[in-house]
Chains A and B, each alone.
Chain A
């Protein structure tokens, strides 16, 4: 499966028996519908996710194609003030989070503790997120020298 943004192959990350697809170039994350079904075991969980999503109306961001069916995805806002915008496949194949969106959602997660997806993403990326950029740039510098 290729990244909808930079078309490079995505690597698979597994934590606590849940998998996400991750682009090592743009640090975006794809959450497959099969994984969502694994994380959201109860209807309550599912409703919580649905309530979180609001269809974004006036977003000028470039829209991407679903990495599974290749159809254009739809933009959704997450959170009260429409802070983060994610792309969701119209055929429900999954959700794509850009790097910036992911960070916003992870920060948002400290407010919305009950949401399992946010918790998972937080656990997967939170520790490294502010640091990772530094580290990666440091390492790249090291490699150049």
Chain B
């Protein structure tokens, strides 16, 4: 297993270093655009410092920031025992050194992500919509996928390359804006001193400032796409039940609700890209995830076993290519792992609704809502910022006091 991580690491490292080079080049050009004599190295230094500071912040509190930005709330075992139970199971079958923290995001859109640069200190976050829609097998598939991201150190790479992308975007923005603001003063100075050579460097810097963020984004997405297949393969290994993840992926992509808290940098963290228009089939350079339909087809065509070899075979069959997704060390382990039979019949929708309500109620309780059960059968849930001291039930007109 360790070698598997190593190999995955090496591949991503190449992409990661390309991003780093882009960042340093960016610094070099900007530096020389301002100070032709040795300014390039000052530029590199500043680019490096900015990246370093951002990386340190993300290393120590990246998870916290990500969870806060997505509006995730940590929950205890009492809140959702089944989810906890599944995370525990997956922790054991993936041999994680510590139990990941469990977070619920109060959103109707079904999705999930994992954070944690070190497996010892990780977290799994799922939305309330996900809990409402999936049955146990499907939820297990999703949690297994997220746990594999932690085990395969995907979270670490996505965090650091995300930060690098952020630095590149930041530096380009600052440079382009400074040209806008200080352009007049600068150009008069340069025309006196150096002339044409300086002009060329300036143009190169501007072109680079425009291209670098795009290039970095493509690299970021390429890193991201590669890792989704491996996480799917590992998930099957942990659950021995590809159909669970397959139908979960389908359900997630079928939903037409948008995830309100997702943005460009956090999008690759989720199990299904929350930003792409639905129904998109083609893999293109700018997508963070492989197409769902393809991931589902690979999972469904797995037969015979839940090993990495079986996933690779299914992958080759569907993609009609032999590009290795699984590192050779993973394929070498051919100990047969049998597939599991479907354990439960899909949950009836009435129950499903109830699960969604229960999760919603939990989220509201966490957020300090108060509850009134009116005798007419209507449940009234009052937000903490509600100021009035009494209200009338809109169904039967009964007056309720709120103090």
Contacts and interface: CB of A to CB of B under 8 A. Distances in A.
Given A19-B357, A125-B395, A13 B379 contact: yes
Given A9-B385, A13-B379, A37 B394 contact: no
A18 B260 CA distance: 21
Nearest to A136: B392
Contacts of B260: 68-69
B129 interface: yes
A14 B381 contact: yes
Contact of A14 (B357, B392, B396): B357
B356 interface: yes
Contacts of B386: 8-9, 11
Determine the main DSSP class of A at the interface with B.
Answer: mixed
A22 B393 CA distance: 11
A9 B396 CA distance: 21
Interface stretch (B57-65, B228-236, B251-259): B251-259
B177 interface: no
Contacts, number: 97
A13 B392 contact: no
B399 interface: yes
Interface string A1-39: 100000011111111011100101001000011110110
A47 interface: no
Contacts of A135: 392, 397
Nearest to A68: B260
A126 to B, nearest CB: 9
B37 to A, nearest CB: 50
Nearest to B386: A9
B396 A128 contact: yes
A52 interface: no
B179 interface: no
B378 A15 contact: yes
A54 interface: no
A13 B385 contact: no
A17 B108 contact: no
Interface string A75-119: 000000000000000011100000000000000000000000000
B277 to A, nearest CB: 12
Contacts of B108: 32-35, 37
Given A124-B378, A128-B397, A38 B364 contact: no
B382 A11 contact: yes
Nearest to B108: A34
Contact of A12 (B364, B376, B392): B364
B334 interface: no
A12 B350 CA distance: 20
A59 interface: no
A15 B394 contact: no
7 contacts: A9-B385, A11-B386, A12-B369, A14-B357, A34-B109, A128-B393, A132-B392
Interface of B: 108-109, 129, 132, 255-258, 260, 349-350, 353-354, 356-357, 360, 364, 369, 376-383, 385-388, 391-397, 399
